[in-house]
Amino acid sequence: MHTEIRWMSRGKCLERFFALRAEIPVFLEDTIQCDTSAYCAKLRNTDFLLEMAFLADITSHLNHLNMRLQGRCQTVSDLYAHMNAFVTKLTLFKDGFSADRPNLAHFPSCEEMRKDAPECEKTLPKYRADIETLQQQFKKRFQDFHTMQPRIELFTNPLSAAIIEQPPELQLEMCELQSDPFLAKRQERGISFWRLLPESRFPLLRDFALSMASMFGSTYICESNFSMMKHIKSRERNRLTDETLFHLMQIGCTNVDIDIQSIVQQQERPQVSH
């Protein structure tokens, strides 16, 4: 991979490599002039192929999670839901590698290995330890999200969130919010719901919703802006004005309003450090 930003393609590479596990040794023996016996022996080893099958399957699930975490118009609560769903899946995966009869419905590569080499079924339960390690890593890496769980619950379901679990400064406004007959019948959720709240009645709740909606849960917008800038400001361009750049960024990258003039004025100001 010539750039680390394409690391999510590795899962597809593993799946393709595993699918060609029988053809690759034949290609090495018939086409490559140097000695490839060590590689061919490895690719015909059942233990090695089983390890590669598990790695291909679990990487595929991780890549699917990463794809769910990307994209526009996703709030922190959406990302938290995706992460919680994957943690639940890990429990399902671990239970699938039981000692009696492993359930490999979610691990197609491992299922292929079980069909090709039935004797490898006895070693499948060892992967429970790997999945448990992955669970511990998720618990450690996303512990900040767990501490934010009451705030995320309030932002996602303000009409059913427990008032006692929220900060004291928001509790009085929450009592009025959950008792309002008009708001209780609304079907909107997320940002659309919070826009319905009058600022005169719910100033603190509106500030809370704004802080949650403006919180970046991933670097997707930043990375997409860098990619678009690299594409726009190429060596092939012959003229690029601030106005043109403004329109190109809006069309190609994001719907966030960018005040190009303010950025230009900020750059033109003399720096104290200089």
* DSSP track, 97-119: S-SSS---TT-HHHHHHHHH-GG
pLDDT tens column, 26-36 = 999 999 888 99
pLDDT at 253: 52
pLDDT digits (tens, 9 = 90+) for 113-166: 999 999 988 899 999 999 999 999 998 988 888 888 888 889 988 988 889 988
Confidence class of residue 4 from pLDDT cuts 50, 70 and 90? low
Report pLDDT for 42.
92
pLDDT value, residue 8: 59
Banded pLDDT at 273 (limits 50, 70, 90): very low
65 or 244, which is more confident: 65
> Per-residue confidence at 1, pLDDT binned at 50, 70, 90?
very low
pTM (whole model) above 0.85: no
- Write out pLDDT tens, residues 45-58: 999 999 999 999 99
- Indicate whether 101 pLDDT > 90: no
Residue 195 CB coordination number (10 Å)? 11
- Binned at pLDDT 50, 70 and 90, residue 274 comes out as very low
pLDDT of residue 254: 47
Q: What is the DSSP letter of 148?
A: T
Closest among 148, 107, 126 to 15, alpha carbons compared: 107
At residue 48, the pLDDT reads: 95
pLDDT at 226: 76
Q: How is 195-234 classified by DSSP, letter by letter?
A: TTS-TTT-HHHHHHHHHHHT--SSSHHHHHHHHHHHHHS-
With the CA atoms of 98, 103, 107 and 111 taken in that order, what torsion angle do they form, in degrees rounded to the nearest 10? 110
pLDDT at 73: 75
Q: From residue 173, how far is each of 80, 159, 208, 211, 259 by CA, in Å?
A: 25, 12, 11, 17, 34
Cβ contact 225:76 at 8 Å: no
Confidence band for 203, pLDDT divided at 50, 70 and 90: very high
